[in-house]
Structure 1
Amino acid sequence: MAGKRLITVFGATGAQGGSVANIFLNDPKLKPDWTVRAVTRDVTKDSAKKLRDAGAEVVAADLNDKSTLISALQGAAAVFAVTNYWEKMDAALEVQQGKNLVDAAKETNVQQFIWSSLLNINKLSKGALPNVHHFDSKADVEEYARAVGIPATFFMPGFYMSNIPGGTFRRSPPNNAFTFSLPVSPSAQIPMFDSADTGKYIKAAVLHRDELLGKRLLSATEYLTVAQVVEAFRKAFPEAGKDATFYSVPPQQFKQILMEKQGWPDFVAQEFLENMLLLEQFGYYGGASLDETHRLVEDKLTTWGEHLRASKKWGEELK
């Protein structure tokens, strides 16, 4: 173990953090040089035990208690930091948690703070889309990290492939065919991201540390139009998907559907509506290319078609 560097991984039993922990524990290019400290709130749950069995040090920490974060970061060369807006749906709380992480990283002299970030959509849209809080709160933490001056890289996950089935892409009456309904045109572009690929991007971030300090890593396999998302579904499931169709829904009707069919409160439906409008009006990444990220990531990224065929969630939808 002597001479190895330590990466502290927050959210290590979740989708993003779990992928990061897994690649650092198993990748032949990383495993010889790195050890993993996996951070979770409950060190007794099965997922934490699996990490311990795989060779990780598992510790508890509370994002609201900076002293526990400092303990979790002691001796770490790198940290993967992620927060969960949707747990409390409180942007101010998420910003404070992120700032706690930044402050702890500064106090412990972390050499690379990798923050799971997103763009500030209120600023990008010049106020036209003011309610995409789960983007803006993460962007506020990124801005704080830059102001504090810690050595940081900003991982920017794309649109979760796993968020597509069951909500706006589902079986619909009268013939039970699959429909994909969004308040955009068929040409709107989605940067497709499989959360299981997170570790591949973070691997690139540490292997290209000097090049990526202060930079954003736009993390998606590819841009697909909404129409291409449906077409790939048809190809993956020729029988179940043969009649799959995209419907462009007026924005307010889309919001109403979310409230009535999904049972979402008004403010959540409004946030999701604006998140979808972003795709066409301003671009998820503001129109930026993925080429630079693809130059740096050496591992194969998961395509939408591959995700479809491997997804347990889609398996449930197809029953």
Structure 2
Amino acid sequence: MSRLVVIIAITGTQGSSVANVFLKEGGWKIRGVTRDPSKPESKALAAKGIEMVKGDADDMESIKAAVQGASIVFGNTAFSPAFAMPTAEDVAKLKPGQTLREWCYETELQQGKNIADAVAATIDTLDLFVWSSLSDAKKWSRGKYAGVFHFDSKAHVVDYINSIHPRLAQKMSILQMGLFITNWKWGQAAVPWEKCSDGSMVLRIPGSGDVPIPLVVPSDTGYFVKALSQVPAGKNLLAFGDRLTWSEYVKLWSKVTGIPATFEKNTVAEHDKLAPGGYGEEIAEMYAYAQDFGYDGGDPSVIYAQDLGVDVPVTRIEQYIKNEDWSPLVQ
């Protein structure tokens, strides 16, 4: 009899990857949760044999209905794009004195709590809950970086589960995806590449630049989730293809592309100028936190894929660079 895996936010980058991996596995029924089952991405997944149901992380009851009977649930949320591209409607939602970043944090945290409450209601059938999280930057930096809200919002869901849903916590594994190597596609404020007048490239990142960063191709998410499904719950997995310092990454990028490139250390204040209003500062603090304390904050519970004892196919960063079309960046 097939077991049921429920993938929340299945049309997103992480969710679709999990779906594609489990589609290749025998013995699984897949249910995808999305806000809009009628959109083309949802219909394309339904055409592959996935049961698509409507569910919204802002509506706990809709998620509760969607996860009924699940053996495995993959849960993840997305930090609101309002912090990068706010609209007048977004600004109108702010409380007096509240910043957009704080509002985005509170919104995502509540969505995560809603998912946790919903999944906790399926505890009798549940074997594993995989929560896509990140490290608690405020905690591990001892308050130095209190503004990496898109990390902390996910990490604080774990705190909530451990405090409010101890039975669910026993069946939970945490997946911390490394820094998406594809983020350069979001522009200079996300990954601050700059083309010089002589045609060479320079990458300026806040922090020392001396700490290896876990870099990952986001379409590999499903392989890490599958691996977690093959081992007992209770893991805190940091997922990556390679761990490289920024200078090592730039050197590799230059070698593969044939384009001269250098790495330079930068400051949070300088990076913030790339996107005033909070977005630049958020990304800058993330980079600086990862350099000062490590991307995972030095959390002693974190393990790597090789510690799981199962095969986890990953995309190496050199392979990604070779296969990517870099013309939008360098032209």
**TM-score between the two structures when normalised by the length of structure 1:** 0.89
Task: From 51, 65, 75, give the equivalent of 1:57.
Answer: 51
Task: Say whether residues 1:224 and 2:224 are aligned partners.
Answer: no
Q: Is the 8 A contact 2:138 2:152 kept in 1?
A: yes
Q: Is the 8 A contact 1:9 1:37 kept in 2?
A: yes
Task: Say whether residues 1:251 and 2:268 are aligned partners.
Answer: yes
* Superposed CA offset, 1:67-120 (max 9, x none): 110111011111100101133441111111111111111112232111111111
Q: CA RMSD in A?
A: 1.8
AA of the residue aligned to 2:226: K
- Structure 1 unpaired stretches of 5+: none
- Count residues in correspondence: 300
* Superposed CA offset, 1:250-295 (max 9, x none): 3322222x23xxxx41x22221111010121100012469864223
Task: From 174, 178, 193, give the equivalent of 2:201.
Answer: 178
Residue pairs, 1:201-220, within 5 angstroms: 201-208=224-231, 210=232, 213-220=233-240
- Structure 2 unpaired stretches of 5+: 84-103
Task: From 109, 114, 121, give the equivalent of 1:95.
Answer: 109
* Superposed CA offset, 1:14-58 (max 9, x none): 1111100000001xxxx2121110111111222111211111111
Task: From 290, 294, 308, give the equivalent of 1:283.
Answer: 294
Alpha-carbon deviation of 1:316? 2.5
Task: From 26, 30, 33, give the equivalent of 1:32.
Answer: 26
AA of the residue aligned to 1:78: I
Taking structure 1 as reference, are residues 67 and 237 closer, same or farther at Cα in structure 2, changes over 3 Å only? same
AA of the residue aligned to 2:314: L
Structure 2 match to 1:143: 159
SS in 1 for 2:145: coil
* Same amino acid, percent of matched pairs: 31
Q: Is the 8 A contact 1:146 1:214 kept in 2?
A: no
For 2:282 and 2:115, the matched residues in 1 are separated by: 26
AA of the residue aligned to 2:119: A
Residue pairs, 1:1-319, within 5 angstroms: 3-26=1-24, 31-89=25-83, 90-109=104-123, 110-147=126-163, 148-149=165-166, 150=168, 151-164=171-184, 166-167=187-188, 168-208=191-231, 210=232, 213-238=233-258, 241=259, 243-256=260-273, 258-259=274-275, 264-265=276-277, 267-287=278-298, 292-296=304-308, 297-312=310-325, 314-319=326-331
Alpha-carbon deviation of 1:298? 1.1
For 1:121 and 1:172, the matched residues in 2 are separated by: 31
Q: Is the 8 A contact 1:169 1:178 kept in 2?
A: no
AA of the residue aligned to 2:41: S
Q: Which range moved further: 121-130 or 165-174?
A: 165-174
For 1:186 and 1:100, the matched residues in 2 are separated by: 37
For 2:257 and 2:29, the matched residues in 1 are separated by: 41
For 1:184 and 1:201, the matched residues in 2 are separated by: 29
AA of the residue aligned to 1:304: I
**TM-score between the two structures when normalised by the length of structure 2:** 0.86
SS in 1 for 2:80: helix
